[in-house]
Structure 1
Amino acid sequence: MIFIDLDNIYKDRNIPNKYIMTLVVSARARQLSERKGAICGYDEKFITRAVEDLADGKIKYSFIDLPAKKIADEPLEA
C-alpha cells in the first residue's frame, strides 16, 4: 500500500481545506468509475488514482456560485 501525504497535497495545490479536497477527489473518482471500460490496463482503485491525479496537478477545480432559491412567502408554523 502506498502512503500519500494528503496534508501536503492540499497545501501544495492551494486547496482551502481537506473537506474541499475530499469533494474534488470524490468527483474525480466518480468520473473515473463511470468510464471504467474506456481505461485500458487500469488496476488501481479509483480513489487512489484520483488522489494521484490531484497530486500531479492533472485536476483543476472551480466553484460555481449559484443564487439562493427564493422561498415562498408563507408564514412559519410554530
Structure 2
Amino acid sequence: MIYMDLEKIYRERDIPNKYILTLVIAARARQLSERKDLGGDEKYISKAVSDVTDGKISYKIIDPLPKTENVPAA
C-alpha cells in the first residue's frame, strides 16, 4: 500500500476537507473503471488520487435545492 498524505493533497488543491476529497477521488475512480481507460497494472483508485494531486481534476459542489424567496401566496 502506498502512503498518501491526504491532508496535504486537500490543502494544496483547495478542497474543504478530507471527506470531500474522498468523494472526489471515488467519483474519479468510478469514472475510470466505467470507461476502462487505465492500461497496465495501476489501480483505478491510485490513478484517481494521482489525477487529483496533479490538478487534472476539478470539482464543484452543486446545491440540489436552490433557496427560494419567501413570497406570500396570492
TM-score (normalised: structure 2)? 0.80
State the identity %.
Answer: 62
Name the residue aligned to 2:2: 2
Q: Whole-Å Cα distance in 2 between the matches of residues 22 and 40 of structure 1?
A: 20
Which stretch shows the higher mean deviation, 39-48 or 6-15?
39-48
- Bigger Rg, which one: 1
Runs of 5+ unmatched residues, structure 2: 67-74
Secondary structure class of the residue paired with 2:15? coil
How many Å apart are 1:40 and its aligned residue? 5.9
Q: Whole-Å Cα distance in 2 between the matches of residues 45 and 17 of structure 1?
A: 24
Structure 1 pair 14–40 and aligned structure 2 pair: CA distance change class (3 A): closer
Name the amino acid aligned to 2:55: G
Runs of 5+ unmatched residues, structure 1: 69-78
The CA RMSD measured in Å over matched residues stands at 1.5
Name the residue aligned to 1:19: 19
1:8-63 deviation digits (Å, cap 9, x = unpaired) = 00010111000000000000000000011xx3633211111000000000000001
Q: Whole-Å Cα distance in 1 between the matches of residues 40 and 62 of structure 2?
A: 32
Aligned counterparts, 1:1-78, within 5 A: 1-36=1-36, 39=37, 41-67=39-65
TM-score (normalised: structure 1)? 0.76
